[in-house]
Structure 1
Amino acid sequence: MVRLSPSRLHDSLRGPALGSIGFLNEVMSRYPDAISFAPGAPHPGFADDLDVQRCIDRFLDHLVRYEGHTPEQARLRLYEYGPSRGLINGLISEALRRDQGIDAPPDTVVVTVGAQEAMLLTLRALFRPADGDLLAVANPCFVGITGAAGLLDIPVVGVDETDTGIDLEGLAAACRRARAAGQRIRACYVASDFSNPGGGRMSLECRRQLLKTAEREDLLVLEDNTYGFTAEQGRELPSLKALDTGRRVIHIGTFAKVCFPGARVGYVVADQPLAGQDRLLADELAALKTAVTVNTSPLSQAVIGGMLLEHGGSLAKLSRGKAELYRRNLAQLVNTLDRTLTGRVPPGVGWSRPSGGFFVRMHLPVPADVELLEISAAEYGVLWTPMAQFYLDGRGDSQLRLSCSYLDPDQIETGVQRLATFLDKEIGQ
């Protein structure tokens, strides 16, 4: 019987992100009664009122009434493979224009299997590692983008994330160092609103200056806008893509948080023209998709399309109720931490106070590693996520991430009480 040598398998299989995710899943399964601040998943209660068939029927009616299909043709659209570019591009295009001021014609949109495939396709299309292409990321960074880069052997450079966005001077310095080494920063990945895991939000001025830096350094910006919908009404900031006049921004989105993750539907706006050709980057991504997943499930797209249509084609209306719950949960978490931990926890313990998103970052005076997490779960019944896996440079080992999205207020209250006991007895000693 053949036995494969681990050393002959791809290096990405031994990356810290995959190991950490597997460990977290394993710990959660062993301690099902623990309050878990670990998963950044949507609240399960939103699935209670989901009527998948009603959404599909709404989308089929749209195909017949507004796209000229017969009922039989419309049904076949959902049962066949479908175009690699997608079926709901027009609905996404209109929602982006209406809600975010993003001018993204349907032919610039590719519907993907979640945001993760959008990242993978974009990196595969843009990067030639053998030619010295590097990917810059805000540090700490979402493991999905660094994991995708690892699969493609793309070297990653970390640039610090500040309270107001990515460190622009640090990004420019990274570009200079790359040029001096005969390489170049091809693109920079950022989450402009309430990043995962740091929770930071890029200021309007930083957004504008980042676009100027991208122009000056001749790089592209990969914008992940997963958590922008949680911003308080009236305090929204324009996305980088809405500010983009030079087509420097590739905009990545997902319906996982505003609809439901099981649909596995995301999208990418790639309106960059190819020099000397009558083609866009979106055309190249659609071509690559035929070799990866062929197409995004038409049934899943129909459900998402129907949900959009039921809310007047507006992402903002679709996500409003969910955003209110997540803002409530975030406020509950921060306020409970303030009320419960202030004056009680040992010196060196602190936490962030983000204005949106799913995550609060906590600092400890000791390593927040998997051994400490095991103690927290086994003896105190509370789970969290170590932050070290999100850093590229060895920092973050004394930080942890608390997610509030999956919990109810009473669970948050109980979880913080358990966390306080854990900190007092384990860290205090």
Structure 2
Amino acid sequence: MQYKFSENVDALQPSAIREILKFTGMPGVISFAAGNPAPEAFPVEEISRISAELFEKDPILALQYNITEGFPELRDVLKARMAEQHCFDETADDLITTSGAQQANELSCKVLLNRGDTMFCESPSFIGSLNAFRSYGVNLVGVELEEDGMNLDALEQAVKENPNPKLVYVIPNFQNPTGRVMSLEKRKGLYQLACKYDLIILEDNPYGDLRFAGTPIPSIKSMDTEHRVIYSGTFSKILAPGLRVGYVSAPKEIISKITVCKQVSDVHTNIWAQAVCAKFLEQTDMDTYLEKLRAVYRQKCNLMADGIRQHFSKRVRWEMPEGGLFLWCTLPEDCDMPAFCKKAVSEYQIAVVPGNAFLVDESAKTSSFRMNFSTPTDEQIIKGTEILGGMTREMLD
């Protein structure tokens, strides 16, 4: 039978990243290609204890339907926590829990953009969100990402040149895939542009709690005097991604529409997982807990950075992040980066992600690739950077 797919999905194709990831499960392959948090950072004992208490004292809560907006106890805790961070204005905002930040971003696009409307994103950017946005037939425009954030001059020019500009998607903290941080100056500048051209900003902050160096920078949401910033967060990087609990804070009118769309999509996010997150936040000294978490990522990042310094060709440029899960490396411009990534995994059994996987146009030329330091073991980081470094010296020196 010949199947005819909807216009929204017909043009969607598997990402180039899949060609690399299919090797990662093979015996002997060291994967720097994942984006998973460190397994040793999961609070397994605490989640087990909270779950046991929940099923002993109130099992029906965890097993029955609940409201679409989210488990009320968790929403209250999150609103209070975000208000302390100046990311929630109780007079103007509301909050809904979602199945990870990915759903928060996808539903934000769904309720605000029509087919053909223009949405802007950093180039490169998170592949999961890019595919979600593409599925709605929007005009997705990538804007150059500089070392301190999106090129605002290029953004303004793109706003002028494209039809129906509506939404700007950014990951200001330890951006995926580059690990870069948007400067305070650019956060202010982006908000000013949004006000000038009547745009909405979607601020995705999955990695903000994982700062292990440098000084925190206020969120764009904390600057929002005109109620034009949507802020998405998640428990995936600070508790466990398998819980699938995220959240989005936005003006009440936007949240009301997101709620209707979520009702259609999945009724509500897993209530057991939401209850676990609520109890965890209530019972845990989060400052102490997060500092322990940051220590794990600081150590793993430094280990990978040391391996790169020691073993990589000096012709490979790379950036030391202040947090998050990723390192961004760039080969000389005359190198075939996709071929480099394929050779690394097929011949040297080291998997990295080609940078074009994170572009709006995956066929565009880039010489960069992403390395993840959170998922592999320390032993794999040491061995893998040495092997990959030897390959870079053979090719480039």
User: Could you tell me how far 1:4 is from its partner in structure 2?
Assistant: 3.4
* CA displacement 1:328-378 (0-9 Å, x = unmatched): 22222223212222xxx274x221222222111111231221x43332123
- Pick closer, same or farther for the CA change 1:290–1:49 going to 2, 3 Å: closer
- Pick closer, same or farther for the CA change 1:58–1:269 going to 2, 3 Å: farther
* CA displacement 1:293-321 (0-9 Å, x = unmatched): 11001011112112212214x4x444322
CA distance in 2, matches of 1:136, 1:256: 25
For residue 18 of structure 2, what is the aligned residue in structure 1?
22
User: Could you tell me how far 1:10 is from its partner in structure 2?
Assistant: 5.2
Q: Is the 8 A contact 1:289 1:295 kept in 2?
A: yes
For residue 368 of structure 2, what is the aligned residue in structure 1?
399
* CA displacement 1:245-274 (0-9 Å, x = unmatched): 221110011110000000000011012x5x
| Of 411, 415, 428, the match for 2:380 | 411
In the alignment, is residue 34 of structure 1 matched against residue 65 of structure 2?
A: no
CA distance in 2, matches of 1:59, 1:307: 12
What amino acid sits opposite 2:150 in the alignment?
A: I
User: Could you tell me how far 1:21 is from its partner in structure 2?
Assistant: 3.8
SS in 2 for 1:82: coil
What amino acid sits opposite 1:356 in the alignment?
A: G
- Unaligned segments of structure 2, at least 5 residues: none
In the alignment, is residue 260 of structure 1 matched against residue 240 of structure 2?
A: yes
Q: Which aligned pairs between 1:68-83 and structure 2 lie closer than 5 A?
A: 74-83=58-67
SS in 1 for 2:291: helix
- Pick closer, same or farther for the CA change 1:9–1:346 going to 2, 3 Å: farther
What amino acid sits opposite 2:23 in the alignment?
A: V
* CA displacement 1:104-136 (0-9 Å, x = unmatched): 44971110001111111111100112xx42110
In the alignment, is residue 208 of structure 1 matched against residue 194 of structure 2?
A: no
- Unaligned segments of structure 1, at least 5 residues: 62-70, 274-279
SS in 2 for 1:192: coil
User: Could you tell me how far 1:14 is from its partner in structure 2?
Assistant: 5.6
For residue 266 of structure 2, what is the aligned residue in structure 1?
293
- Pick closer, same or farther for the CA change 1:187–1:9 going to 2, 3 Å: closer
| Of 326, 337, 346, the match for 1:359 | 326
For residue 354 of structure 2, what is the aligned residue in structure 1?
386
For residue 155 of structure 1, what is the aligned residue in structure 2?
139
CA distance in 2, matches of 1:427, 1:306: 53
In the alignment, is residue 112 of structure 1 matched against residue 98 of structure 2?
A: yes
| Of 89, 101, 105, the match for 2:86 | 101
SS in 1 for 2:260: helix
Query: Computing the radius of gyration over CA atoms, which structure comes out larger, 1 or 2?
Result: 1
TM-score by length of 2: 0.91
* CA displacement 1:13-43 (0-9 Å, x = unmatched): 6645x3324323311123x322211101011
Q: Is the 8 A contact 2:33 2:352 kept in 1?
A: yes
Identity fraction in percent: 27
For residue 392 of structure 2, what is the aligned residue in structure 1?
423
TM-score by length of 1: 0.85
* CA displacement 1:372-402 (0-9 Å, x = unmatched): 3332123222111111111124445321111
* CA displacement 1:202-228 (0-9 Å, x = unmatched): 111111111111100100000011111
What root-mean-square deviation, in Å, do the aligned CA atoms of Structure 1 and Structure 2 show? 2.3
